[in-house]
């Protein structure tokens, strides 16, 4: 009798290990299958991660697996290997990793209803003599026409049936109406590559990681599509990741137009059903190209030829909620596993990635000019303190107003970018400085003008807006930062009658809103589009000749070692929206610190100069990529428990530090800045250490956490924010 190692699909930390079960002779189970198993008095779901001939326990003590849930392995071999890798390297619970690999619908038991698959004969072909089972299936389908997939696979076996599907002999169809994803219709016409693009396509061909550094408008998308086409021709599949916010209808339409039914799209705008449909098409090999946001890195594409991470510097590639992972690392694993190509593309690579390219770990491919030979838009830095000195206390500087006026006159288009990171639109008392905070989370509340309400962005709780300061009684209450709505109002005042569109989280929360705003803007001239980070990348509007950056400093003074890098990236990306067609573009950048070096390099599009300066600074101050920042976060509803448990862990960590005393730069334990979120108290151990023994140190750190701790414990490497 065979023995299966099963991971139980439950959250409890104590259950986070492999349990052994007997496989009854009548069940033909495989690694990766979902199964129902007896557990205590209950019957629960688990995953077979390994099948063995023997057990270290007495076989008579083992319980038996009751049944298979799907009748075939839903976790493929590669993903099982990935699970082991992630568990080893990232301190994650096994069950939480496995859940990443499946659409959430599959966990709720609804999958049976959704998977009413049918098979029918597609073409009559000779089946090789040794494939007897396949021949029997073909004969069966000849007689019966369309039959339920499960019926055939139960009768004749899953393996021969899926082999026939793969060969295209048998086609699969689904009972319910297919939900199809909406996208703009455009032509999929191929463009003749420029010499630079051609060189990039020719260079990128080996099982390596390439960093494609191409300025905005250099035509990276066309390069990606050519690379993907080549892989498809070789019978391989392709995975392309883009940041969620640049998953624009335009990008999707481009891929649909070029690759048709072979593309599956995975993004947050999909309903649960649509997401499941797409996943299923990928799983069964019907879709060969996947375009999606971060989580698409886990899609079960087989025979992967190329992985592309566009805008590779984007922070959204790092998952900061559970489970925590960095998409780059997962992509590296899949590249090696599949012997495929990995391309990281960006106009502003991250300092980390560019350093790796200079070290030879990545292969650098450069596209330093725009496709149409257009010059990069001219960036004008405007000193807002100077504006104040000259009596202008408006949001807009005189140069920006003048340029906007000219755009309107010429019936062109402009974009106004509001650099709003985090929770900057708070309400504050001008007399005493009081700022309203959430009672549960201890963070500033965000003022929502439209509803005249204060909201907590961590727990979603809503509060009445302030009109009298609860601390001093003053009525002099002011909003903290400039928001999109405010800017729209001001623009209407200066340019009555001109079409003004707004794009931010509030205006794009409904399905299709994103797409509709963009297509309206595209049709209207003159027009001004006001938006947050959402408008910063990916868009390609011919008539946008002006970009205004209202308050560039917003991202500059965050308490985070990456804030300058981010500011540089943002300016470059936003500026890249202007002058992409016939007319030279212009950018007006408003700042209160015009002499900061980041503006100097950004203004000259000097990425290399900026990299040198910034990398040097990081080296001198001992920050990544030359060291690692690591946070161990504990959280629990009972503050005494977190405080006690983190102390135990901290004592252990101190021993690790003593052992690697030359590597440690910093180590401390503290309350998290956001000390309480969703009624849970948060404490953290923060540390920084050199790279030389990083892997050993991390392994030892994992062992510092008591497996029986009641708190939730998270490890974060180079976290994006430490709040
Ligand atoms: P990037 O992603 O590098 O900023 P895009 O891929 O958006 O640049 O390309 C910029 C513009 O150039 C797009 O409108 C695209 O359709 C166009 N383009 C790309 N390659 C070519 C080409 N070989 N010939 C003509 N136009 C091209
Ligand atoms: Zn007050
Ligand atoms: Zn809250």
Question: pLDDT digits over 281-323, tens only?
Answer: 999 899 999 999 999 999 999 999 999 999 999 988 988 777 8
Same domain, yes or no, for 675 and 686?
yes
Distance CA 413, CA 521 (A): 9
Asked if residue 218 has its Cβ within 6 Å of ligand 1, the reply is yes
Model confidence at 178: pLDDT above 60: no
Which among 559, 213, 251 is positioned nearest to 362, based on CA atoms? Answer: 213
Same domain, yes or no, for 333 and 253?
yes
- Asked if residue 373 belongs to a domain, the reply is no
Distance CA 560, CA 645 (A): 27
CA atoms within 13 A on the CB side of 143: 6
Please report, for the domain that includes residue 647, its CATH number. 3.30.70.600
* Digit-coded pLDDT (tens) for 79-137: 999 999 998 888 888 988 998 999 877 776 544 444 567 888 887 677 777 788 888 88
Which among 408, 382, 379, 407 is positioned nearest to 395, based on CA atoms? Answer: 382
User: 218 alpha carbon to ligand 1 midpoint, in Å?
Assistant: 6
Same domain, yes or no, for 513 and 635?
no
Q: How much of the chain is in helix, strand and coil states, percent to nearest 5? A: 35, 25, 40
Of 586 and 437, the one with more pLDDT: 586
- Asked if residue 184 belongs to a domain, the reply is no
- Asked if residue 192 belongs to a domain, the reply is no
Question: Which residue has 């990928």 as its token pair?
Answer: 282
At residue 218, the pLDDT reads 93
Beta strands (DSSP E) in 536-653 are 544-549, 586-591, 627-636
Same domain, yes or no, for 384 and 516?
yes
Percent of the chain with pLDDT over 90: 49
- Asked if residue 191 belongs to a domain, the reply is no
Same domain, yes or no, for 96 and 126?
no
Specify whether the backbone of 411 is left (phi greater than 0), alpha (psi in -120 to 50) or beta.
left
578 contacts 415 by C-beta, under 8 angstroms: yes
Same domain, yes or no, for 517 and 602?
yes
Distance CA 72, CA 723 (A): 43
Model confidence at 558: pLDDT above 80: no
Distance CA 541, CA 83 (A): 42
Q: State the SS3 of 24-79.
A: CCCCCCCCCEEEEEEECCEEEEEEEEEEECCCCCCHHHCCECCEEEEEEECCCHHH
Of 332 and 16, the one with more pLDDT: 332
Peptide bond into 514 cis (omega under 30): no
Distance CA 199, CA 235 (A): 23
At residue 155, the pLDDT reads 83
Same domain, yes or no, for 153 and 203?
no
- Helix, strand, or coil here: 503? strand
Please report, for the domain that includes residue 493, its CATH number. 3.40.50.300
Distance CA 683, CA 634 (A): 5
Q: For residue 432, what are the domain limits?
A: 424-481
Please report, for the domain that includes residue 45, its CATH number. 3.40.1440.60
User: 437 alpha carbon to ligand 3 midpoint, in Å?
Assistant: 8
User: 442 alpha carbon to ligand 2 midpoint, in Å?
Assistant: 18
Of 674 and 85, the one with more pLDDT: 85
Within 10 Å of residue 78's Cβ, how many Cβ atoms? 18
Of 84 and 561, the one with more pLDDT: 84
Angle value at C-alpha 335, between 329 and 340, nearest 5 degrees: 160
User: 459 alpha carbon to ligand 3 midpoint, in Å?
Assistant: 4
**How many angstroms separate the Cα of 115 from the Cα of each of 27, 111, 217?**
21, 6, 43
At residue 110, the pLDDT reads 45
413 contacts 518 by C-beta, under 8 angstroms: no
Asked if residue 397 has its Cβ within 6 Å of ligand 1, the reply is no
Going across the sheet that includes 680-690, the strands are 664-677, 680-690, 627-636, 712-717
Same domain, yes or no, for 559 and 415?
yes
**Last residue in a domain, options 71, 91, 107:** 107
User: 78 alpha carbon to ligand 1 midpoint, in Å?
Assistant: 35
User: 475 alpha carbon to ligand 2 midpoint, in Å?
Assistant: 8
Class of residue 241 by CB neighbours under 10 A (exposed 0-12, middle 13-18, buried 19+): buried
* Digit-coded pLDDT (tens) for 44-92: 999 999 999 988 888 888 999 999 888 889 999 999 999 999 988 888 8
Asked if residue 427 has its Cβ within 6 Å of ligand 1, the reply is no
Model confidence at 175: pLDDT above 70: no
Same domain, yes or no, for 470 and 491?
no
- Identify the weakest region by mean pLDDT among 31-35, 69-73, 680-684: 69-73
Please indicate, yes or no, whether the overall pTM of this predicted structure exceeds 0.85.
no
- Asked if residue 188 belongs to a domain, the reply is no
* Digit-coded pLDDT (tens) for 419-454: 765 435 677 776 776 878 878 766 677 777 667 888
At residue 114, the pLDDT reads 47
**Last residue in a domain, options 618, 652, 686:** 618
Model confidence at 588: pLDDT above 90: yes
User: 318 alpha carbon to ligand 1 midpoint, in Å?
Assistant: 27
- Strands 378-383 and 586-591: what pairing? parallel
Model confidence at 526: pLDDT above 60: yes
- Asked if residue 272 belongs to a domain, the reply is yes
**Last residue in a domain, options 84, 107, 130:** 107
Distance CA 91, CA 272 (A): 29
At residue 480, the pLDDT reads 61
Model confidence at 466: pLDDT above 50: yes
Same domain, yes or no, for 302 and 235?
yes
Question: Which residue has 């001004």 as its token pair?
Answer: 528
- Asked if residue 285 belongs to a domain, the reply is yes
Instruction: Read off the pLDDT band of 597 (50, 70, 90).
Output: very high
Within 10 Å of residue 670's Cβ, how many Cβ atoms? 12
Structural domain count of the chain: 6
**How many angstroms separate the Cα of 618 from the Cα of each of 117, 462, 614, 723?**
55, 40, 6, 21
Asked if residue 191 has its Cβ within 6 Å of ligand 1, the reply is yes
Asked if residue 540 has its Cβ within 6 Å of ligand 1, the reply is yes
Model confidence at 180: pLDDT above 60: no
- Strands 67-73 and 147-148: what pairing? unpaired
Widest CA span of the chain, in angstroms? 90
* Digit-coded pLDDT (tens) for 355-385: 999 999 999 999 999 888 888 899 999 998 7
Peptide bond into 404 cis (omega under 30): no
Instruction: Give the position, in ligand 1's atom list, of the atom nearest the Cα of 576.
Output: 4
Asked if residue 340 has its Cβ within 6 Å of ligand 1, the reply is no
Same domain, yes or no, for 363 and 219?
yes
- Ligand number nearest CA of 432 is 2
Cα dihedral 267/209/687/564 (nearest 10): -70
Instruction: Give the position, in ligand 1's atom list, of the atom nearest the Cα of 367.
Output: 3
* Phi, psi values for residue 297, rounded to 5°: -60, -20
Q: Which of 220, 221, 367 to mutate to test the pocket of ligand 1 (most atoms within 8 A of CB)?
A: 221
- Asked if residue 25 belongs to a domain, the reply is yes
Tokens of 330: 């997962």
* Digit-coded pLDDT (tens) for 604-662: 999 999 999 999 988 988 889 999 989 999 999 999 999 999 999 999 999 999 999 99
Same domain, yes or no, for 90 and 159?
no
Distance CA 351, CA 260 (A): 36
* Digit-coded pLDDT (tens) for 480-500: 666 788 899 999 999 999 999
- Ligand number nearest CA of 445 is 3
Compute the average pLDDT of residues 150-154: 81
């Amino acid at each position: 009798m065979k023995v299966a190692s099963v991971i139980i699909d439950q959250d409890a930390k104590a259950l986070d290990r492999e349990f052994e079960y007997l496989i009854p002779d009548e069940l033909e189970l495989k690694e990766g299958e979902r199964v129902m198993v007896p557990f205590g008095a209950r019957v629960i779901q688990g995953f077979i991660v390994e099948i063995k001939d023997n057990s270290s326990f007495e076989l008579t003590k083992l319980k038996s697996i009751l049944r298979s849930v799907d009748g075939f392995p839903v976790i493929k071999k590669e993903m099982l290997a990935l699970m082991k890798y992630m568990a080893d390297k990232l301190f994650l619970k096994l069950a939480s990793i496995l859940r990443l690999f499946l659409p959430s619908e599959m966990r709720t038991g609804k999958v049976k209803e959704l998977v009413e698959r049918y098979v029918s004969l597609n073409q009559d072909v000779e089946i090789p003599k040794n494939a007897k089972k396949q021949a029997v299936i073909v004969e069966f389908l000849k007689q019966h026409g369309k039959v339920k997939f499960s019926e055939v696979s139960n009768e004749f076996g899953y393996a021969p049936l899926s082999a026939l599907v793969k060969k295209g002999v048998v086609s699969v169809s689904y009972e319910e109406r297919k939900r199809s994803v909406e996208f703009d219709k455009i032509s999929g016409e191929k463009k003749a590559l420029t010499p630079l693009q051609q060189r990039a396509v020719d260079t990128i061909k080996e099982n390596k990681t390439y960093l494609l550094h191409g300025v905005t408008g250099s035509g990276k998308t066309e390069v990606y599509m050519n690379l993907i086409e080549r892989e498809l021709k070789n019978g391989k599949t392709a995975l392309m990741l883009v940041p969620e916010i640049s998953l624009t209808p335009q990008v999707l339409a481009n891929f649909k137009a070029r690759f048709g039914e072979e593309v599956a799209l995975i993004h947050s705008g999909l309903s649960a059903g649509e997401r499941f449909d797409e996943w299923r098409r990928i799983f069964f090999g019907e879709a060969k190209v996947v375009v999606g946001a971060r989580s698409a890195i886990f899609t079960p594409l087989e025979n992967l030829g190329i992985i592309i991470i566009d805008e590779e510097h984007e922070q959204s590639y790092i998952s900061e909620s559970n489970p925590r992972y960095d998409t780059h690392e997962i992509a590296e694993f899949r590249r090696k596993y599949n012997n495929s190509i990995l391309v990281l593309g960006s106009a502003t690579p991250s300092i980390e990635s560019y350093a790796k390219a200079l070290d030879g770990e990545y292969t650098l491919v450069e596209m330093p000019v725009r496709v149409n030979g257009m010059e990069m838009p001219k960036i004008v830095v405007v000193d807002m303190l100077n504006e104040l000195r000259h009596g202008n206390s408006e949001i807009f500087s005189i140069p920006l107003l003048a340029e906007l006026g000219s755009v309107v006159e010429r019936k062109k288009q402009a974009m106004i970018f509001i650099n709003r990171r985090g929770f900057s639109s708070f309400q504050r008392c001008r007399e005493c400085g009081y700022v309203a905070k959430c009672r549960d989370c201890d963070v500033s509340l965000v003022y929502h003008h439209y509803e005249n309400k204060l909201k907590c962005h961590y727990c979603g709780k809503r509060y009445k807006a302030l009109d009298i300061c609860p601390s001093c009684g003053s009525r002099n209450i002011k909003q903290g930062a400039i928001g999109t709505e405010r800017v729209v109002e001001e623009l209407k005042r200066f340019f009555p009658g001109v079409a003004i569109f707004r794009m931010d989280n509030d205006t794009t929360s409904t399905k299709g809103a994103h797409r509709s705003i963009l297509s309206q803007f595209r049709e209207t001239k003159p027009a001004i589009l006001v938006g947050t980070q959402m408008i910063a990348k990916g868009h390609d509007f011919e008539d946008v000749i002006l970009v205004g950056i209202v308050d560039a400093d917003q991202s500059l003074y965050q308490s985070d070692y990456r804030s300058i890098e981010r500011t540089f990236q943002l300016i470059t990306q936003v500026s890249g929206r202007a002058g992409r067609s016939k007319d030279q573009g212009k950018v007006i950048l408003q700042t209160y610190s015009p002499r900061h070096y980041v503006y100097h390099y950004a203004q000259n599009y000097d990425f290399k100069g900026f990299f040198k300066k910034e990398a040097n600074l990081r080296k001198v101050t001992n920050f990544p990529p030359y060291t690692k920042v690591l946070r161990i976060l504990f959280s629990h509803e009972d503050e005494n428990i977190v405080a006690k448990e983190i102390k135990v862990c901290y004592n252990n960590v101190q021993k690790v530090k003593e052992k690697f005393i030359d590597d440690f730069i910093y180590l401390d334990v503290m309350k998290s800045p956001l000390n309480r979120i969703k009624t849970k108290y948060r404490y953290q151990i923060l540390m920084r250490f050199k790279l030389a023994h990083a892997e050993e140190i991390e392994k030892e750190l994992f062992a510092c956490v008591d497996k029986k701790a009641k708190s939730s414990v998270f490890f974060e490497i180079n976290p994006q924010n430490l709040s």
